Amino acid sequence: MPHYLDASGMEPPEPMECVLQLLADLAAGEYIHMYHRMEPTPLYGVLHRAGFRWRTAQDSQGMYHIFIWRNSDAEAEREAAAHSTDPAAA
């Protein structure tokens, strides 16, 4: 199940603050779908250190969709991967 985070109107580091709050409560099988105007490269290092994985896709409008799940959560990874192929619909 996705937690949707629209970060398109947020100023750095608000998107990362919100993601980190969501990550702390992420249950098994859940993932985060983050919607952003820019690719949040600083976030990736933090996710890597905190034990999360991610997949980034760009839609036809140039907006970024970042899907984040726990390292060992195969179910969340499967769902996130399925949605990331058509990010705008997700």
Partner 1 sequence: MQANLSLEQAPPISVPFRFFLTAPLFGVAAGLLILFIGPDIFLSRWAPATLALTHLITLGFMGLVMCGAIMQMLPVIAGAVIERPVLNSGIIHLVLTVGIGALAAGLSTSSSSLLVVAMVALGFGFAIFITAVFYALLRSPANSTTVYGMQLAIIALLITVALGLLLLSAFIWAIPEIDISRLTNVHLAWGILGWVGLLLVNAAYQVVPMFQLTPRYPQWMTRRLSLFLFGGLLLWSGLYGLRPFSSDLAAHIWLFLCLAGFAVFAGVTLMLQRRRKRRTEDVTVWFWRLALYSVLFGILLWSIDTAFPSLKPCGRLYFLLGVCLLVGFAASVISGMLYKIVPFLIWFHLQQRRISKALDRSVTVPNVKRILPARAMKRQFAAHLCTVILLALSTLEPEWLTYPAGGAMVISFAMLWYNIGRATWIYVEYDRYFRQSVDEDRHS
Which residue ranges make up the site for partner 1 (CB under 8 A)? 8-9, 11-13, 16, 20, 24, 37-39, 41-42, 44-46, 48-50, 54-58
Nearer to partner 1, 5 or 56 (CB): 56
Beta bridge partners of 5: 34
Determine how many CB atoms are found less than 10 A away from the CB of residue 4.
Answer: 10
Nearer to partner 1, 12 or 27 (CB): 12
Closest approach, Cβ 64 to partner 1, in A, equals 10
User: How many helices (H) and strands (E) would you count in the chain?
Assistant: 3, 4
Closest approach, Cβ 2 to partner 1, in A, equals 18
Place of tokens 């976030």: 43
Nearer to partner 1, 1 or 45 (CB): 45
| Tokens representing residue 77 in the block | 């990874």
Give the three-state DSSP class for 85: coil
